[in-house]
Amino acid sequence: MSSDNPSKLLLLWTTRDKTTALNMVFLYTINAKKHNWFDEVTLLIWGASPELVAVDEEIQAKIGEALDKGVRVIACKRCAETLDLVEKLEDLKVEVFYTGEFLSDWLKSGNSFLSV
């Protein structure tokens, strides 16, 4: 991959379905970094997905693995506040901030985007 124009992927994860999380969200983001399919990979936790993160140790371990591989893991602060999960996400080393503008800018950028 060219360092002059790095390829970037954002995966927006909104479902609390564990099968989807394990067999798509984490499988793809971790492998995308591991195999250099993209220079930068960002996972955005939004919607109902923070609920699964908060209660499932296997999912929490996958977040740790993704971070270890170099995936940037971020979460929508408004969602986390509504679900009272800001501290839980931050304890897992997830970057928690208001992500509406971030997502809008990403969509306008032309960088790669997936939503689950």
Confirm whether 2 is domain-assigned: no
Note the pLDDT of residue 2. Answer: 45
Confidence of residue 10 (pLDDT cuts 50, 70, 90): very high
Which CATH number goes with the domain that contains 17? 3.40.1260.10
Confirm whether 3 is domain-assigned: no
Confidence of residue 5 (pLDDT cuts 50, 70, 90): confident
Q: How many CB atoms lie within 10 A of CB 84?
A: 10
Decide: helix, strand or coil at residue 115: strand
Confidence of residue 4 (pLDDT cuts 50, 70, 90): low
- Residues 90, 60 contacting (CB under 8 angstroms): no
Domain count, the chain: 1
Confirm whether 45 is domain-assigned: yes
* pLDDT tens readout for residues 44-79: 999 999 999 999 999 999 999 999 999 999 999 999
- Give dist(CA 16, CA 33) in Å, integer: 23
